[in-house]
Amino acid sequence: MFKFILRRTLYTIPILFGVTLIMFLLFHVAGGDPAAQAAGRYATPESIQIIRVQMGLDKPLVIQYFELVRQIFTLDFGRSWASKQEISSLFASGIGPSLSVTLPAFVLALLMNIPLGMLVAYKRNSWFDKNMLVLCLAMLSISSVVYVLAGQYFLSYKLGWFPVSGWDPSWIGRWEYVTLPVIILLVLFFGGDLLFFRTVFLEEMHQDYVRTARSKGLSERRVLFKHVLRNALVPIITLLVLQVPFLIVGSLLIESYFGIPGLGGMIFRAIQEADFPVIKAMTIMGAVLYIVFQLLSDVLYALVDPKIRLG
Amino acid sequence: MQLISPLFRSFKAFKSLIIFCSVLLTLGCTKKSDAPDNSITFPLEAYIKGLDPAKSSDTYTEEVLSNLVEGLFQYSYLKRPLQVEPLLAAAMPTVSKDGMTHTFKIKKGVRFHDSEAFPDGKGREVKAQDFIYSWKRLADPATQSEGWWIFDGKIKGLNEWRDKIGKEASVTYDTPVAGLEAPDDETLIIRLTVPYYQLHYVLTMSYASVIPKEAVDKYGAEFLNHPVGTGPFKFESWIRGNKVILAKNPTWHGGTFPSEGSAEDKASGILADAGKPLPFVDKLIFLEMPEAQPRWLSFMKGTTDLSGIPKDNYDGAVKDRKLRPEVESKGIRLHIYSSAEVVYISFNMVDPVVGKNLYLRQALAMAYDTTTAMEKFYNNRAIMAHSMIAPGMDGYEPEFKNPFKEYNVEKAKELLKKAGYPDGKGLPPIEYSDSGTTTSRQMSEYLSQQFEKIGVKVNIVSNSWPQFQDRIRNKKAQMFGMAWLADYPDPQNMMQLFYGPNISPGPNSSNFQNKEFDALYEKALKLPPGPARSDLYKKMRDIFVAQLPWIPTVHRQGFTLSHGWIENYKKVDSMHGYFKYLRVNVDKKKELKAKL
C-alpha cells in the first residue's frame, strides 16, 4: 500500500508539469494581454509597457514558466492582479460559501439517491422503475439553467418561500440563502446519480453470489445490505470521491444566479479580468485535488473490496 | 414493501433527511433583510473590481465609488445640459487670461472619513496638498491607474515627474511639480502646458478625487479594498461577488438639495426638498448581480429599489415607452433619459480591404438595417445614430442625417459594384469580431445576414473579452462592434476617437488617420466652448461621414425603474454620486411593499 501511494504521488509530478504547461501556454497564446487590459481604454504603448514590466510579463516565457514552478513548490501564488488580495485569503473566503451549497446538496443527494437507486433496481421492470427511468432521462435532458431559472421564479418570486438571491456571512444566517440553491443542486444531481446507482445495483443483483446468498435462505434485507451494497460501493466510491474537487470549486451557475460569493464566481471573474495569479492558483489547486482524490478513491477500493490489492 | 421497510429501518438517516429538509425550508421561509428601512439597495449589472479612485474605469465601480470619494467639482443634479459646480472647491476657480492657470480655494471643514489609517481613528481635515498627493499618485506608474489620461501632457512638470518617480531615488512624492502648487492649506494652483477646456469636466471624475496618504500607506496595494475618502457615505463592508455596504458619513462636510431646477422639476415636486441637508438615507447597499433574472425578480419583490429593465422583461413591463398598468399599479415609475453614448460597427482603417475602399464601407453601411436592429436588440430603447456626436452634446443636431445610414439594398449593391466587387464577387469573407457574449453573437449573426443580402460573406470571430480587446489593440480585427460612453459631455471626448496620434492601442481603435481631421481637432482643443468650436466639431463630423470609419448604429437610452417610495430620482449616465439626493419615503415603502 505504501509503495502504491508513493508511486502514485510521484506520478503527480509529470501530470502537474503537463497541466501547468498547458495552462501557461493557453494563457499566453489565447488569454489576451493582461497589461493592456489593466492599462484601460486610454492605453498607450508606453503605459502598457510599464505595466507589463510590473507584472513580470516582459521576461522571457521560460523564466516566467520557472517562476510559476517556483510558486507551486513554495505554494505562494502572490496576489491577485485585480483585487490585490493574497490568493490564499481569496481562496479562504471563497471556499466556505461554495461548500455551503455543494456539500449539503452532495450529502443529501447521496442519502436520497443511493437507497432510491437500490429500490429502483430491486423493482426492475415494474411501473415504478419504468417511470423513474423516464423521469431521470427527462430531467437529464433539460438544461441546468432551466432548473435555476424556474426554481428562482416559482419558489422564490411566485411562492415567496426563499429569497431571490443574496448572502449572509454568518453560518446561521446563510441557510436562508443556500436552501434553494441546495434544492436545485439536489435536482441536478438526481437524474444522473439515480441512473448510475440503478445500473450499479442491477449489475450486482445478478451476480452469482447473490443467488447463492438467497439460496442459503438469507433475508432480502441481509442480501441487499450485507452483500449487494458492499460490492456496489466500489464504483460508487469512485464516482463520489471524484466529485469532491468539484464541490470545492463550486458551481459557477448557481453562484452567479444566487449571489453566492464562492470560488466558482471567483474563477469566472479571474478569467474575465485576465487575472493570471488567480487562474494559475485555481488550476493548480484543481489538478492537485483531482489527483489526491483519485488516489484516495484507489485506496478506498482496496478497503471496501478485498479482491483489489494495490501495489 | 418488502424492501422499503428495511431501507427505512437501516437508513435512519432518511428520516433525518426529512427533518433536515424541513428545518432548511423553515429557515428559508424566515424573511429577514440587512437593509434598514431608510436605505437604498441598488443592483449592479456586473462584478466590480476595486474601490480605488485611480482605477475607477467602469461605470459600475463608479456607481459605488462616487458616494465615497469627492473631487473639486460635481455636476449639478437638476440642471440640463449638465453643468459643473463646486463640490470640494469653495467656488469656481480663478482662471488666468490665457486660460493656463487655474486657482482653486478648497472648502473649509472637509474631513476624511474616520479610519484606522489615522493615528486616533478620526479623519483629519483635507488640505490642498492632499489633492497634489492624489494626482501624483494617479501619475505614478506604480499605481497602474487607468485614469492617467486626464492629466497626461496637460500639467506642467507632471509627465517629467512620472518619468522619474521610481527610477531616480532623488524624485519622491515630496518633489515639487511646477504645475501643481499649494501655497497654503486652502489654495491649489494648476498650471497647464496646453489649453484644456475639459479640465473642469475631468475634475468631476473619481480619478481626480482626493484621498489621504495615510490610508494608502496603511493598506498599500489593498487600498482598493479599504477605500477612504470624504464622501457623504463611508465604506462599511464588501463581500466580493455579493455586496458592498456604505453607511452615512457622520462627519461629512455637508451639502443641501439644489433649489434651482427646470419647470418640469417644479411640476414633478422634486424641489420640495430644496435647501434640505443631504444625504437623506442612512445606508447604501450595492448588490453585485450579473444575471438578469435575479436582478429583475429582486426589484419586482421590492428587495432592490431601482433597476434597469432586462431585454427579456421589457415587453412585460413597458408598452409604447410607458409602463403597463399592472406594473404602474404597484407604484413603480419609469425614467427615460438620453445617454451620452454611441454604439457602432467599426472598420479597421489600416486593413487593406475594408480600410482602403470607401465604396465598400459605404455599401456595407447601406446594407445594414438599423431600424430592425433597434427592435431586435434594444426593444427600441435607442435612437438612430448618424454620427459620433451623442444627444445632449455640443454639436449634436437631431435633424442631421448621414446619407449612408439609409437602409437601401439596391444602392448598397451599386456601391459594392463601384467598390470592385459586383454582387460580392472577388471579395474575400469579411472577418467580424465580437466579444463572445450571447447578445454580441446574435448581433454578429444579424450583421452577417444583412451583408449576405448584397453578396458579402462574413466570418464571425467570437472571442473572450480579453481576446477581443487584444485583437482590436493589435489592429487584427477587420470589423468589430463596440460602444463608447462619453467620459464627459463634451464632443471632444468623441472626436479623440478619430485623432491620428490616438490609434491602437489608444482609443482610436478604428485607426482612422486624416490630416484635415487632425488639424481641426487640434484647433478645437485650443478653443473655449462656443459657436466657433461647434463649427469645427461639425466639420469633423462631416469628414467622419465622408470617410465612414464606423457605421454608427444607435444612441442607447436609459430606461430605469424606481419604486414609488424612492423620491428625487433624476439621473443621466455621465452623472454618478447622485444617491445623496435620493430620499426613501419609509411609510410609503411599507404600504407599497406589502402589495408586491
Residues on chain B touching A161 (C-beta within 8 angstroms): 25, 28-29
For B232, the grid coordinates are 457623504
Q: How far is CA B522 from CA B194, B201, B494, B525, B536, in A?
A: 11, 19, 14, 5, 10
Q: Shortest Cα distance from B290 to chain A (angstroms)?
A: 7
Nearest CA in chain B to A222: B6
Q: DSSP labels for B405-420?
A: GS--HHHHHHHHHHTT
The answer to whether the Cβ–Cβ distance between A156 and B222 falls below 8 Å is no
pLDDT band at A35 (very low <50, low <70, confident <90, very high): confident
Partner-chain residue, chosen from B14, B25, B294, that has the shortest CB–CB distance to A164 = B294
C-alpha–C-alpha distance, residues B336 and B555, integer Å: 13
Pairing status of strand B430-434 against strand B479-485: parallel
pLDDT band at B339 (very low <50, low <70, confident <90, very high): confident
Q: What is the pTM of this model?
A: 0.88
At B361-389, the pLDDT tens digits run 999 999 999 999 999 999 999 999 999 99
The answer to whether the Cβ–Cβ distance between A54 and B144 falls below 8 Å is yes
Cα(first)–Cα(last) distance of chain B, in Å? 47
Beta-bridge mates of residue B431? B459
Residues on chain A touching B24 (C-beta within 8 angstroms): 104, 175, 179, 182
Which of A235, A195, A230 lies closest to A210, judged by CA?
A230
Structural contact between residues A266 and A85, judged by C-beta atoms closer than 8 angstroms: no
Size of interface A-B (CB pairs under 8 A): 190
Residues on chain A touching B50 (C-beta within 8 angstroms): 82-84
Average pLDDT over residues B325-339: 93
Q: Mark which residues 160-199 of A lie under 8 Å from B by CB.
A: 160-169, 173, 175-176, 179-180, 182
Nearest CA in chain B to A166: B242
C-alpha–C-alpha distance, residues B130 and B228, integer Å: 13
pLDDT over threshold 60, residue B591: yes
Average pLDDT over residues A69-83: 86
C-alpha–C-alpha distance, residues A81 and A84, integer Å: 5
The answer to whether the Cβ–Cβ distance between B3 and A118 falls below 8 Å is yes
Partner-chain residue, chosen from A50, A83, A272, that has the shortest CB–CB distance to B225 = A83
Partner-chain residue, chosen from A42, A82, A167, that has the shortest CB–CB distance to B242 = A167
At B179-224, the pLDDT tens digits run 999 999 999 999 999 999 999 999 999 999 999 999 999 999 899 9
Mean pLDDT of chain A: 86
The answer to whether the Cβ–Cβ distance between A258 and B294 falls below 8 Å is yes
Mean pLDDT of chain B: 91
The answer to whether the Cβ–Cβ distance between B4 and A33 falls below 8 Å is no
Nearest CA in chain A to B44: A259
Residue B272, number of CB atoms within 10 A of its CB: 12
| Rounded percentage of chain A residues whose pLDDT exceeds 90 | 32
pLDDT over threshold 50, residue B14: no
- Using CB atoms within 10 A of its CB, is residue B223 exposed (0-12), middle (13-18) or buried (19+)? buried
Q: DSSP labels for B449-483?
A: HHHHTTT--EEEEE--HHHHHHHHHTT--SEEEEE
At A185-217, the pLDDT tens digits run 999 999 999 999 999 998 888 888 888 888 888
Which of the residues A164, A186, A197, A224 would you substitute to probe the B interface, choosing the one with the greatest number of B C-beta atoms within 10 Å?
A164
Most confident of A247-261, A268-282, B134-148, B465-479: B134-148
ipTM of the complex: 0.86
The H or E element that residue A306 is part of is: none
Average pLDDT over residues B340-350: 96
| DSSP helix/strand/coil, B349 | coil
Q: Shortest Cα distance from A4 to chain B (angstroms)?
A: 35
The answer to whether the Cβ–Cβ distance between B17 and A175 falls below 8 Å is no
More confident: B10 or A311 = A311
Which pLDDT score, from 0 to 100, does residue B10 have?
Answer: 44
Q: Shortest Cα distance from B195 to chain A (angstroms)?
A: 20
At A154-176, the pLDDT tens digits run 999 999 999 999 999 888 889 89
